[in-house]
Chain A
């Protein structure tokens, strides 16, 4: 991402908030902001960045929005033949630039709106990337490997759903705040994951999503510096992303944690992530992102794979199991126990998962079983489990990795 693009993206939520505060009409305002960003991307490189970039974007955005509102009201007039909005000139008597002077940052309000519970996760992600992240529809579509028209429809649909849900541009009531914040953090986590799990480390589109997710969480953290889970999520992303260059080989094949070249890990990100999570654990209420980040920090600070403090990881997974109901946690817990104590103890922890409907057909259960059987010396069982896991996964690099494990036995 160029400095110039970064400047535009950082202005996006501020510009959109200013327009929505002044005119309402989140859906049309969002459209207008995209057009203002496009105009800036076309004009600034030749004409130079204006002295007040935000003011410029707000001005161009409001001009475009008043046009949109005019045609909207004309459309309504035709349809309903009824009285319409006040003349647009009255609207703009005091400009939306004036609304910006309080220096208030409405990014959170905007995030809450984009991650509205009436939307599917896919829609929340798309809308967040566009309205808060300032990405174009084409960039989002490329990140999620769908045609641009499909993504455009998804975004318009999301905006319509928010309108129908009657949601306004306000912070959610106190009683809903925690749950809504959880949804926001989850969406940012999903954006990160989508980028991180992309197989090739050189894929620009996917690396962009991880960078974007980290940038957005940093933004949230500036607004909520005391929130332990925001810090925990940022730490988790930094500690995970630190391994990006080591997690695949030149051909995009996956390299397991134990075999990664740790000199390729991003030390700076690990140091920052570890400091963040240590501070959060010491000063705020415990939450799942903090614990996951703490686990990532234990891995991140082990010089060699054999230096990993598995006993501490086991203890952290026990904490995580108490505060989250997720069979994946049990699965990872089993691996940690196998490493700390032995494969038999790990395999015993898999038993309750056999009857867990969320896990029974899951390739990861089979992959972990294969790994633990291999550790225990049952090569025949391990091979069968690796092959079954390879058939169950829908990921090409995971399938190739599991198949190669089976081939080696």
Chain B
């Protein structure tokens, strides 16, 4: 079963991190990535650029396109990165999420990924 671990951040919490904390953050992700890779559980992972670099696209019914600067949702928190991992169950995925310092600073969301297999009823 695949799970998406969505890392949330906000500008204040990030700005308030000390150099030591930032280093700890990158070390924790480095270690986690290595461990997940070594166990054959990591499908993909990436960090996302700051939301000030985001462009949001929407297309109207008449196919006209508008592009605005900044994220779609007006929220204090933004998506800062993700891991796509293979786990036996959601509890195992939660354990990995809990190891990310981001879970301490803001939060990490664990979401099951849809798959194309299904059983007739």
Q: Which residues of A contact B (CB under 8 A)?
A: 120-123, 126, 144-147, 150-157, 194, 197-200, 206, 243, 247-248, 252, 254-257, 260, 367-368, 371, 393-399, 401
Question: Counting CB contacts under 8 A, is B18 at the interface?
Answer: no
Q: Could you pull out 30 A-B pairs where Cβ atoms are within 8 angstroms? A: A120-B88, A122-B86, A144-B86, A145-B115, A147-B43, A150-B37, A150-B86, A151-B40, A153-B38, A153-B40, A155-B40, A156-B40, A157-B40, A194-B117, A252-B116, A254-B118, A254-B121, A255-B120, A256-B120, A256-B121, A257-B121, A393-B118, A395-B116, A396-B114, A396-B115, A397-B117, A397-B118, A399-B114, A401-B120, A401-B121
The answer to whether residues A150 and B117 also contact, given A121-B88, A122-B88 and a CB cut-off of 8 A, is: no
Please report B residues at the A interface, Cβ cutoff 8 Å: 1, 37-44, 86, 88, 112-121
**Distance in Å from the Cβ of A395 to the closest Cβ of chain B?**
4
Give the docked Cα–Cα distance between A304 and B44 (Å). 47
Task: Report whether A396 and B121 are in contact in the complex, using a CB–CB cutoff of 8 Å.
Answer: no
A147 to chain B: which residues have CB within 8 Å? 43-44
Q: How far is the CA of A260 from the CA of B114 in the complex (A)?
A: 25
CB-based contact B121/A367 at 8 Å: yes
Q: Which of A150, A260, A395 is close to B43, meaning CB atoms less than 8 Å apart?
A: A150
Residues of A with C-beta under 8 A to B119: 197, 254, 395, 398
Q: A198 and B117: CB pair below 8 A?
A: yes
Q: How far is the CA of A254 from the CA of B116 in the complex (A)?
A: 11
Residues of chain A within 8 A (CB-CB) of B117 are 194, 197-199, 206, 395, 397
Chain B residues, CB < 8 A from A243: 120
Q: Which residues of A contact B113 (CB under 8 A)?
A: 394
Q: How many CB-defined contacts (below 8 Å) exist between A and B?
A: 86
- Assess A395 versus B38: contact at CB under 8 Å? Given A122-B86, A150-B43: no
**In the complex, what distance in Å separates the CA atom of A367 from the CA atom of B119?**
12
**Contact assessment for A153 and B121 in the assembled complex, using a CB-CB cutoff below 8 Å:** no
Contact A146 B86 (CB under 8 A): yes
What residues of chain B lie closer than 8 Å to A367, measured between beta carbons?
121
Q: Which residues of B contact A126 (CB under 8 A)?
A: 40
Nearest 4 pairs of A and B residues by beta carbon = A154-B40, A153-B40, A397-B118, A197-B117
- B41 with A371: CB separation less than 8 A: no
Q: What 18 new A-B contacts, CB under 8 Å, besides A198-B116, A199-B117, A396-B116?
A: A126-B40, A145-B115, A150-B86, A151-B40, A153-B37, A153-B39, A154-B39, A156-B40, A157-B38, A194-B117, A252-B116, A257-B120, A257-B121, A367-B121, A394-B1, A396-B115, A397-B118, A399-B114
Which of chain A's residues have a CB closer than 8 A to the CB of B41?
A: 150, 154
Q: Which residues of chain B are within 8 angstroms of A396 by Cβ–Cβ distance?
A: 114-116, 118
Nearest CB in chain A: distance from B37 CB, A:
6
Set of chain B residues within 8 Å of A153, measured between Cβ atoms: 37-40
Q: How far is the CB of B96 from chain A (nearest CB, A)?
A: 14
